[in-house]
Amino acid sequence: MNSGKLALRKGEICGEARDIEIAFERNWKMRDLNDKIMEGKVRCTARNRVKGYPGETFHLNGKYSFQKFIIVAVWYWPLGRVRDLLYPVMGFASPEQFQEYWLEIKYEFDENRHVYVHFFDFAEKQGFGYWPDIGDCPENPDEEL
């Protein structure tokens, strides 16, 4: 991938990349969230809106943080599917823990509601090379926006 370009999918260039902000909520259930991200145990985050696109970068604790991450994919999935299949790579021990956390920060859990799952990897250094399987990803993610 060309540095500084925005890739919709691995290898596709479609524009200039930018630095974005993604806030990570921490509460008593996820006190160790930053540690899990830095250890590579958390590889994605589910959001109600698109926070960024593949190729764009963000810092873990805002723009003054030393560690930069790059978004590698954005999926549009039902929340129930995210809970059932992605809870481990989101830092949760079980689907129930993910749902409990979501209820605490969003106040409702509709398993049929679609959310945007942002997958990320370390930027500017050798990361884990994590690219999600795009078999379940829509052909044109912008159609779903």
pTM, entire model: 0.74
- What percentage of the chain exceeds 90 in pLDDT? 39
Per-residue pLDDT tens digits for 86-112: 999 999 999 999 999 899 888 899 999
CA–CA gap between residue 113 and residue 7 (Å, rounded): 26
The class level of CATH for 28-134 reads: alpha beta
Whether pLDDT at 85 is above 90: yes
Whether pLDDT at 8 is above 80: no
Break the chain into its structural domains and give their ranges.
28-134
- Specify the pairing of strand 13-16 against strand 114-122: unpaired
Q: Which of 31 and 140 is assigned the larger pLDDT?
A: 31
**What SS3 class is residue 36?**
helix
One-letter amino acid of 95: P
Whether pLDDT at 55 is above 80: yes
Per-residue pLDDT tens digits for 114-145: 999 999 998 876 555 555 554 445 444 444 44
